[in-house]
Amino acid sequence: MNFIKTNRLLIGLASSILFFSFLASMILTSFGNVEVKSLRLDTDKGQYIVYDLFRPNSAKPESKAPFIAIIPGFQRSKEALSNIAIELSRRGYVVALIDPYAQGLSSSSLSTRAATTQGYGMFSLVEDVHSGAFNFVDIDKIGATGHSMGGNAAIRGADFFGKQAIQNNTKSKLDSVYVSGYVLTLRNNILRDSKSNMGVSYALYDEGAFRNELTAWDSANMIIAPESLRTVNSVLPKEEQIKEVELGKYYGSKEKNSLRVIFNEPVLHPFQPYNFEATANQLDYFEKVFGAPNPINSNNQIWHWKEIFTLINMVLALIMLIPIARLFLDLRFFSSIKKDIPAPLNVPNGKGKIIFWSIFFISALIACTTFIPMVEVAKILFEDAANRKLTWFFPQRMNNSVMLWAAFNGLVGIIIFSLSYKLFGKRNGVDTKSWGLGINRMDLLKTCILALVIFATFYALLFINYALFHVDYRFWFMGVRIFQPEMLAVLLMYLPLFLIFFFSNSLRVNGAMRFKDQPEWLSMLIAGFANSLGLMLIIIIQYSVYFNTGTVFWTTNWLSVNLLFGIVPMMFILPYFNRIFFRMTGRVYLGPLVTCLVFIMILSTNTVVYLPIK
Amino acid sequence: MKNIYFFLFLVFISSCGGGGGGGSEAVPQNNPPTITNSTFTFSALENQNLAFVLQASDPDGDSITFQITGGSDQSSFTINDSGQVLFLSSPDYENPSDANLDNSYEVAIRAFDGNLYSSSYDFTVNITNDESDDGSNNSSAVCTDQAESTSYCTIDWDNLEREFYVVFPGSFSSDKSYPLVISLHGGADYADANMEYTGFTQINDQNNFVLIFPQGTVAEGKGDTGWYSGGDCSNLEVCDISFIEKLIDYSIEELSINPGRVYVSGFSNGAFMAYTTACFLSNKVAAVAPVSGSFSPEDYDSCDPQRPMPVIHVHGLDDSWIPVQGGDYVTPLQLVSNYWSSFNSCSENIIVDGEDSNGDGYSWYSEISTSCQDGVSINFTYLENFGHSWPASDSNKGGGADIDGAAFIWEFLSLYDISGLIN
């Protein structure tokens, strides 16, 4: 009873998470009308894919349903496209939502052209399903859809199975594909051999369109883009060829597997899968080519409720780190970690104020200007991962640059912190005790153990939650995911260099940004911006230039900039945690240890990882 | 800790044990065998089981057997009684199965004479490609006519279907032999666009040469269209140098191309690729014309031309993408120019000033190295007030340069064949 009283918040949060997960699972399973389970398909030479199979109750051997494979794009795991899986499955389609090779729970690929030559694993799955793996699937109605690189996999699938069909003089095993957010490989040779119906949806404000054939704003305009014109004209007789595409109009013939339709939704590339109009267009397309076993108007969509519930859970789960920490800190073993909170600094004024804000902006500027160079440095330092070779040496090519950036900026932060003390603070009576650095070896060890215990508890609850409801904590592509055991080794590899940044942040937030009589909310807000402003600036520059010219500022590394959409929120909330843990322990160590473990695991499980195949 | 010392002490004592106790009976001394292979790195053609043959000798003439003792690919091998090291399943170059998938198998082996072992030796077997099994690489190009004198073709190569356009001169006759210019587009660029902006198609009729505009792949590692420069494809997702070589071979066999007059031009990323061909296909490429590009540092370090190579390089002085003074992945042009002058043993340098033909107040100049081996020359032409664009005198094509790049380049290229200056 006492336990319940003192841990009311923890119990409340855990119960709420279970409740919202239950609600999310209701959406995922269309209120129990769809069975969702994870399956693994061993493909070739030790490679395998893990996928979620959405089987509507109406799909039975006596009433077979069409089958649609969904392939997420680069850096995305299967859960990132659960929205379209939900909408398709509630309409009666059997859906397989794939973790692409080297992403999520699937194995790496032996090929560096996994999307091109294997459709990220989709080719094997289509072969498997077509050979009768599921007796409730109509093998004449197999389709595939994907976004971005997953869209490329769908295009390549149309080509691969088209060539196979030509060779065998049969119908293509892949009856229809729907390509979202990718047009680069809609080339004559691909379209010539495709024997699949094809829908193409491209965001009008796709920031990756600088790679397309036209330039600036024209590049993503699918009415006049050569890519969309080719797609349509490849199925039209010469005399009927068009010079402008009518968006949403179906060209060609479904019976001849030459149906073509183009959409052009006004949205940015990463947000295209989460756009109601784009989702409706996709649903309409599959209704047209397959006919939904359970027709529902395409504007009737429920997927966003799952996103809301899992977003609530993501927030609650992160908040839950606090009562988890409190729970363990109350144990006798850990109680010695708790120290009095050192006195805060006096509010700076005059020169101190100038120095504070100068450091604030200089740090942000350094953070902003060093990110893209670190992307380049990472290519040199981590050559194997950069070339997508299978390796145990820092195998996450996108995370490598973030890690270097973090280590560099962490060091810069510590240097600036020390210099500002030596040059200014010392002379103005700053007491180093206020930093909360003093700790003995045993307490430091206990702090490390406690951080591991908190991390383990946090993820244990996630795994239990996933086992019960098959949902994790997420909003769109930002997710707290479950992971395979190898990821613990990956985490250990990335932890030390990232820890420099997290520790530096804790030191600055608690040692240099904690002032007497300053409201906590203001102090935290400043700290949040101090930690994330540099990266925010990159996004602001990238998209200001884009909206002014039609071409993004950083073209070669545009995907690295996209990565920041997931990182900036983490950077913003990091100081909050560092302050809260500081208040619990009076020291600067527990915050960075816990947040580094949790946040880096979140980062690591949401990116590509080129681990050797067992 | 004490236990560790005690254990080490026991190990030490036991290792000394063999030397103790002199017996009264003379025991014939046995000597260990030795592996006598002169090399420990072998090449083996794919699709066959034999990796290499072991050689060994024993001073006492004992019969020798072999044992696999380690190596990251030890499970891929077996050894028969004749000392032949065999792959358990024949290797496939296109689908390597060694531990690190680099087609280089590693195994450690020792010899045994019944009593004593030799040292263990590390062997490496590098698998070489048997092109005859690359079914898709043997196919010929499939072409369709696109417009008058222009064909759109595809060819299977390296498990990819590669695209290219061929533009014939109006008077083309398969009975004659023609020079060929291969024009490579830039990064995030397209062959059909390159066909337009370079202007080569405007001059190939009157100058009677064939043009090929290959399409770079959308490599997954790059995310957009382009070329993987470099002569060593082991780290590359797409082996473009072998594709260009294939195109040259194909055009000589099928398109009446004079094998001694194949030229490669390229813009930006295509210029890097053009330099790669100069470095590694010099036995097939007569001269190169890179525009707004440079050597990659890797090519600069490993460039290996087999004959003097004529080079004409055109570059805008205001090019911020590929700066004249170099940058990340860009070798400074002065170094590039020096490299070729030195390699071609040129002994004279001249500077030619060009005219401000478009009247914008800026002009151009060429740094030319002459008196080179085989009569070749090096021409580095710099355009003032000009950025990262193809130099077209027609401003409608986005150029607005003082020179017409295509005509300027052809005037240079046409002076040379594979043997140097055409007499």
Whole-angstrom Cα distance, residue B84 to residue B69? 16
**B245 and B354 together in one domain:** yes
> Same structural domain for residues B171 and B34?
no
> Is A486 part of the contact surface with chain B (CB cutoff 8 Å)?
no
For residue B4, being part of any structural domain is answered with no
pLDDT of B16 > 50? The answer is no
Residue B297 predicted with pLDDT over 80: yes
Nearest CA-CA partner of A141 in A165, A168, A180, A176: A176
Residue with tokens 């930002």, as numbered in its chain: A478
Report the domain count for chain B.
2
Distance between CA atoms of residues A64 and A141, nearest Å: 10
Same domain, B128 and B190: no
Taking the C-alpha atoms of residue A122 and residue A115, their distance in angstroms, rounded to an integer, is 9
Question: Residue A2: which pLDDT band, with cuts at 50, 70 and 90?
Answer: low
| Pick from B97, B101, B188: CB nearest A390 | B101
Question: What's residue A1's pLDDT?
Answer: 55
Contact between A103 and A146 under an 8 Å Cβ cutoff? The reply is no
What is the per-residue pLDDT across A561-587, written as a single tens digit (0 to 9) for each?
888 888 888 889 888 999 999 999 999
Domain annotation for chain A: domains and CATH numbers = 31-299 (3.40.50.1820), 307-604 (no CATH)
- Residue B223 or B183, more confident: B183
Residues 6 or more apart in contact with residue B133 via CB below 8 angstroms: B46, B47
In a domain, B6, yes or no: no
Residue B14 is assigned to a structural domain of this protein: no
Chosen from A74, A160, A184, A230 to mutate, greatest number of chain B CBs within 10 A:
A184
Give the pLDDT mean for A74-89.
Answer: 95
Distances (CA, A) of A420 to A428, A429, A524, B82: 11, 12, 21, 75
Q: How far apart are CA A239 and CA B231, in angstroms?
A: 46
Residue of B nearest to A187 (CA): B163
- Identify the pLDDT of residue B133: 60
Q: Quick: pLDDT tens for B166-208.
A: 999 998 998 899 999 999 999 989 999 999 999 999 999 999 9
pLDDT at B132: 58
Determine the residue of chain A that is closest to B215 in CA distance. A187
A115 touches chain B (CB under 8 A): yes
Return the residue of B nearest to A385 by Cα: B221
Interval A303-322: pLDDT, tens: 999 999 999 999 999 999 99
Which one of B136, B189, B218 would you mutate to disrupt binding with A, by most A Cβ within 10 Å of its Cβ? Answer: B218
In A, minimum Cα distance to B190 occurs at A213
- Residue B40 located in a structural domain: yes
Residue B337 resides in a domain:
yes
Stretch A61-73: mean pLDDT: 96
By DSSP bridging, strand B142-147 and strand B150-157 are antiparallel
Rounded to a whole number of angstroms, the distance from the CA of B277 to the nearest CA of chain A is 22
**How much is the pLDDT for B323?**
95
Residue A559 has its nearest CB partner, among B95, B152, B223, at B223
pLDDT band, residue B135 (cuts 50/70/90): very low
CATH code at B260? 3.40.50.1820
Last residue of a domain, one of B132, B149, B177: B132
Chain B (230-259) residues lying within 8 Å, Cβ to Cβ, of chain A: 235-238
Using an 8 Å CB-CB cutoff, list chain A residues near B225. Answer: 184, 211
Mean pLDDT of B297-310: 93
- Residue B152 distance to chain A (closest CA, Å): 9
Q: What is the mean pLDDT of residues A62-82?
A: 95
What is the rounded distance in angstroms from the CA atom of residue A491 to the CA atom of residue B50?
42
Parent domain of B356: 141-421
* pLDDT at B221 > cutoff 60: yes
- Alpha-carbon distances, residue A423 vs A414, A426, A428, A430 (angstroms): 14, 7, 10, 11
Q: Tell me, yes or no, whether B9 lies in a domain.
A: no
Selected residues 210-229 of chain A with any CB under 8 Å from a CB in chain B: 210-211, 213
Q: Is A230 on the interface with B (CB under 8 A)?
A: no
In a domain, B10, yes or no: no
How far A483 CA lies from chain B's nearest CA (Å)? 24
Q: At CA A569, angle to CA A323 and CA A282, rounded to 5?
A: 115
Which of A124-128, A226-230, B140-144 is least confident? B140-144
Phi-psi region of A468 (alpha: psi -120 to 50; beta: other; left: phi over 0): alpha
What would the DSSP string read from start to end of A447-484? HHHHHHHHHHHHHHHHHHHHHHHS--EEETTEEE----
Contact call for A187 and B163, based on CB within 8 A? yes
Q: In terms of CA atoms, which chain A residue is nearest residue B224? A: A211
d(CA A455, CA A590): 11
Examine the pLDDT at B44 and tell me if it is beyond 70: yes
Residues B261 and B341 in one domain: yes
Do B102 and B194 have their domain in common? no
Amino acid present at B234: S
- Return the exposure string of A306-315: e unless at least 16 CB atoms fall within 10 Å of the residue's CB, then b: bbebbbbbbe
Identify the domain boundary among B82, B106, B132: B132
Contact A184 B218 (CB under 8 A): yes
A323 or A113, which is more confident? A323
**For residues B20-36, average pLDDT:** 64
CA distances (Å), A76 to each of A125, A165, A478, B343, B366, in order?
A: 19, 31, 9, 49, 51
Whether B124 and B153 share a structural domain: no
Length reported for chain B = 423
CB contact under 8 A, A152 and B218: yes
The predicted structure's pLDDT at residue B10: 38
**Shared-domain flag, residues B192 and B313:** yes
Whole-number Å distance between alpha carbons of B78 and B49: 10
Q: Do B237 and A112 touch (CB under 8 A)?
A: yes
Taking residues A248-270, report their average pLDDT. 95
What is the ipTM score, two decimals?
0.73
Q: Which of B132, B162, B184 is the last residue of a domain?
A: B132
Inter-chain touch A184–B190, beta carbons under 8 Å: no
- Pair (B154, B124) in one structural domain: no
Q: What is the pLDDT of residues B321-377, one digit of tens each?
A: 999 999 878 999 999 999 999 999 999 999 999 998 888 889 999 999 999 999 999
Which of these ranges, A403-417, A420-434, A559-573, B180-194, has the smallest mean pLDDT?
A420-434
Q: What integer is the mean pLDDT of A177-183?
A: 96
State the pLDDT at residue B13: 35
* Count of C-beta atoms within a 10 Å radius of residue A298: 20
pLDDT mean over A87-92 = 98
Share of chain B above pLDDT 90, in %: 57
For residues B122 and B40, is the Cβ–Cβ distance under 8 A? Answer: yes
Residue B209 lies in a domain: yes
Q: What is the CATH number of the domain that holds B76?
A: 2.60.40.60
Check whether residue B168 and residue B63 sit in a common domain: no
For residue B199, the distance in angstroms to the closest alpha carbon of chain A comes to 18
CA–CA separation, A179 and A119 (whole Å)? 12
Taking contacts as CB-CB distances below 8 angstroms, the residues of chain A near B237 are 112-113, 387-388
Judge whether A277 is closer than 8 Å to chain B, CB to CB.
no
Q: Are B49 and B178 members of one domain?
A: no
A188, A190, A230, A553: best mutation site toward chain B, by most B Cβ within 10 Å? A188
Nearest to A211 among B160, B161, B223 (CB): B223
Residue A432: how many other CB atoms lie within 10 Å: 13
Say how far apart CA A52 and CA A495 lie, in whole Å.
30
Q: B269 with B231, same domain? A: yes
Shared domain check, B158 and B78: no
Q: For residue B232, which residues of chain A lie inside 8 Å, CB to CB?
A: none
